[in-house]
Amino acid sequence: MSGRPDADRDTSAAAPESGAGTQTWRVRVDATACMGTGICAGVAPGRFRVRDGVSHPTDEFVPPTQQVVDAAESCPLEAISVTHRDTGARIAPEE
């Protein structure tokens, strides 16, 4: 164990854009669940915007970034979902 809280977590899916083009993620916000707290926009600036009391991803398809994972996992209502574009495999939040 390395002492980091996330050291045992498999972050291979969350690897930064090295090998660009090998993976793309789909980011969605469930507007019926979103409270518009803006936590996601604070955690991942430039990736989310709050409009009319609801968060919206700035792009539906994004390269893998830890910021997007962190935003999905920090949402108090789990309104953000991050999946692999091609396979639909869930990346965040963790189940």
Q: Is pLDDT above 60 for 4?
A: no
Helical H segments across 1-95, by residue range: 39-43, 66-74
77-93 confidence digits (pLDDT tens) = 999 999 999 999 999 99
What pLDDT, on the 0 to 100 scale, is given for residue 15? Answer: 40
Residue-range definition of the domain harbouring residue 37: 32-92
What pLDDT, on the 0 to 100 scale, is given for residue 14? Answer: 41
Asked whether residue 75 is assigned to any structural domain, the reply reads yes
Asked whether residue 50 is assigned to any structural domain, the reply reads yes
Task: Give the count of domains, the chain.
Answer: 1
Segment 3-31 shows an average pLDDT of: 59
| C-alpha 87, offset from chain centre | 16
22-78 confidence digits (pLDDT tens) = 699 999 999 999 999 999 999 999 999 999 999 999 999 999 999 999 999 999 999
Asked whether residue 19 is assigned to any structural domain, the reply reads no
Q: Is 66 helix (H, G, I), strand (E, B) or coil?
A: helix
Closest residue by Cα to residue 70 from 24, 38, 39: 39
Token pair for 53:
């009391």
